[in-house]
Homo-oligomer: A and B are copies of this chain.
Amino acid sequence: MTTDNVQMWKELGIDLKPHDMLMNAMGHMYQEIYLSQDNRPHGMGFFDFVVGDIHGIRVRELREHAINGGKVVATYCVFVPEELVWAAGGIPVGLCAGTQFSVPLADEVLPRNTCALIKSSFGFKLGRICPYVQASHLIVGETTCDGKKKMFELLAEYQPVYVMEVPNKKTPQSRELWLREVIAFKEVIEKLTGNQITAESLSEATDLVNRRRRALQRLYNLRKVRPAPISGKDALLVTQVSFYDDVKRCTQQVNALCDELDKRVAKSEGVAPANALRILISGSPMAIPNWKLHHILETTGVVVICEESCTGTRFFTDLVEPETFLDAQVKSIAERYMNIHCACFTPNDERLDDIVNLAQEYQVDGVIHYNLQFCHTYANEAVRVERRLEEAAIPLLRIETDYSDEDTGQLKTRIEAFLEMIRK
């Protein structure tokens, strides 16, 4: 924790005392969960470095950008079309939070029966312990789920918030609404940044984001191999960091990591034995630093080889189709984002297909459906996921949890029983 950092945090209005506690806790947790792993790819070094200075170097870059007149846009959902922010010269940062630390802060305001992700994210603002949101000029919310939708109304009392309406269905009229929402969002970003988005700048931004998507697709494809060349924990971290790191740099680092993993695959070098059980996790997103389930699983010798979630496949599946003219580009962006198979849509049968297909492509031994407690969309969809996986004879364990340690013992017991059953 450098003096420079402390000065910067002061200027951003950070509440230093609890923030110090958080940074210390993060440091210890990272050591225990990440640095204790064996045979990690060297390419994870960049991500270790980033997390080691998680509220330092990247925040500094955002501040630099702001001092030079640039704008920072905080987002909390993969539906927000970041291409438009990059195209206007802004920097988008994904700020969904995954730590129990900030949850009690939110408990002072939000209803008790709110999911941990919402509470954690809100708590970071309320408690003034997140320099990213402090450095943001605009928060962009969305109407994906009831909890978030209403939380943004309260967040707006602390910082400017603009809410995008994500439809509930995928009819032609729903798609029309979404296109108009994306156009409205474009205008909001242009006004915020003072920069007009052109076909050229949008084409460039789209290409940058697509390249990052391809890099992450490449990373995930490498996890289809047996033995898995990288742990699920590490892959999850890479995805989590890509929500807020510089898009170009992130792409470079992920590709460099994949180059190394290619070599491991050529040598059949894995992070676990070839016969280690392979698990797909599907459901609610796992925001940084939510590593709870991966840690429980991978300390049993299992390897998590895919995440079907917003901090997984739903983040980078599908590229935006390039177009020449601005209107068509915006439409292409809207179409790509409308194709996210989130449980906030009804129906969302495509996700049921996705899970079955991924389970087959990744040669999984079992699927764990993960939803945060009070997450109505994913908790309800789990019912149909269960029926579908039963038809497909794919073993499934349904888990509902939060960010605390209270249920870790129970989870371990249930998971061990599940793994035992799969092994037979």
A198: Cβ under 8 A from any B Cβ? no
Contact A377-B113, Cβ < 8 Å, known A174-B177, A177-B176: no
- Check B176–A173 contact: CB distance below 8 A: yes
Name the contact of A173 in the complex, choosing from B152, B181, B376, B380 (C-beta under 8 A): B181
- Check A146–B374 contact: CB distance below 8 A: no
- Check B163–A165 contact: CB distance below 8 A: no
Q: Closest residue of chain B to A166, judged by CB?
A: B168
Interface stretch among A23-31, A202-210, A340-348, A416-424? A340-348
A93: Cβ under 8 A from any B Cβ? no
Q: How far is the CB of A337 from chain B (nearest CB, A)?
A: 16
Interface stretch among A130-138, A245-253, A327-335, A381-389? A381-389
Q: List 5 A-B contacts (CB under 8 A).
A: A110-B380, A146-B380, A165-B171, A165-B173, A176-B176
- Check A150–B110 contact: CB distance below 8 A: no
Contact A153-B373, Cβ < 8 Å, known A111-B400, A173-B181: no
- Check B154–A384 contact: CB distance below 8 A: yes
- Check B343–A384 contact: CB distance below 8 A: no
Name the contact of A380 in the complex, choosing from B147, B169, B181, B344 (C-beta under 8 A): B147
Interface residues of A in 147-170 (CB under 8 A from B): 147, 149-154, 163, 165-169
- Check B173–A169 contact: CB distance below 8 A: no
Residue with the greatest number of chain B CB neighbours at <10 A, chosen from A150, A151, A180, A181: A150
Contact A346-B380, Cβ < 8 Å, known A167-B165, A173-B181, A174-B165: no
Interface residues of A in 329-387 (CB under 8 A from B): 343-344, 346-347, 373-374, 376-377, 379-384
Q: For A146, what are the chain B residues with a Cβ–Cβ distance below 8 Å?
A: 145-146, 344, 376-377, 380
Q: Show the binding face of A for B, using Cβ within 8 Å.
A: 109-111, 113-114, 143, 145-147, 149-154, 163, 165-169, 171, 173-174, 176-177, 180-181, 184, 343-344, 346-347, 373-374, 376-377, 379-384, 400
- Check B111–A346 contact: CB distance below 8 A: no
Contact A346-B149, Cβ < 8 Å, known A168-B165, A400-B111: yes
CA distance A146 to B150 in the complex (A): 12
Contact A380-B154, Cβ < 8 Å, known A146-B146, A173-B181, A346-B149: yes
CA distance A347 to B383 in the complex (A): 31
Q: For A150, what are the chain B residues with a Cβ–Cβ distance below 8 Å?
A: 343, 346, 376-377, 380-381
Q: Closest residue of chain B to A169, judged by CB?
A: B165
CA distance A150 to B342 in the complex (A): 12
Q: For A400, what are the chain B residues with a Cβ–Cβ distance below 8 Å?
A: 111, 113
Q: Closest residue of chain B to A156, judged by CB?
A: B347
Q: Closest residue of chain B to A167, judged by CB?
A: B165
Q: How far is the CB of A313 from chain B (nearest CB, A)?
A: 21
- Check B379–A113 contact: CB distance below 8 A: yes
- Check B177–A167 contact: CB distance below 8 A: yes
Q: For A149, what are the chain B residues with a Cβ–Cβ distance below 8 Å?
A: 168, 346, 377
- Check B111–A153 contact: CB distance below 8 A: no
Q: How far is the CB of A149 from chain B (nearest CB, A)?
A: 5
CA distance A171 to B312 in the complex (A): 32
Q: How far is the CB of A239 from chain B (nearest CB, A)?
A: 25
Q: Closest residue of chain B to A371, judged by CB?
A: B111
- Check A376–B346 contact: CB distance below 8 A: no
CA distance A181 to B169 in the complex (A): 11
Name the contact of A180 in the complex, choosing from B173, B343, B344, B383 (C-beta under 8 A): B173
CA distance A381 to B143 in the complex (A): 15
Q: For A145, what are the chain B residues with a Cβ–Cβ distance below 8 Å?
A: 146, 376
Name the contact of A376 in the complex, choosing from B111, B168, B384 (C-beta under 8 A): B111
Name the contact of A111 in the complex, choosing from B147, B174, B380 (C-beta under 8 A): B380
- Check A376–B154 contact: CB distance below 8 A: no
The 5 A-B residue pairs with the shortest CB-CB distance, nearest first, are A150-B380, A143-B168, A146-B376, A111-B379, A173-B180
Q: Closest residue of chain B to A143, judged by CB?
A: B168
Q: Closest residue of chain B to A150, judged by CB?
A: B380
Q: For A381, what are the chain B residues with a Cβ–Cβ distance below 8 Å?
A: 150, 153
